[in-house]
Amino acid sequence: MKQLYIKQKVFSLSGKFTVKDQQEKDVYYVEGSFMQIPKTFSIMNTTRDEVALVTKKAFSFLPKFFVEVNGREVFTIKKEFSFLKARYTIDGAGIEVQGNWWDMDFQVLQQGEVVGQVSKEWFTWGDSYKVQILDEAMETIMIALVVAIDCVKADQAAASSATIN
Show me where the domains of the chain are located: 2-164
Q: State the alpha helices, DSSP H only, in the chain.
A: 139-164
2-164 maps to CATH 3.30.1490.20 = no
What is residue 125's predicted lDDT score, i.e. its pLDDT?
57
Q: State the burial class of residue 64 (Cβ atoms within 10 Å of its Cβ: 0-12, 13-18, 19+).
A: middle
What does the alpha-carbon distance between residue 161 and residue 116 come to, in Å, rounded to a whole number?
32
pLDDT per residue over 13-72, tens digit each? Answer: 457 889 999 999 999 999 988 677 788 999 999 999 999 999 988 777 777 889 999 999
Cβ–Cβ under 8 Å, residues 29 and 20: no
Mean pLDDT along residues 152-163: 71
Give the predicted TM-score (pTM) of the model.
0.84
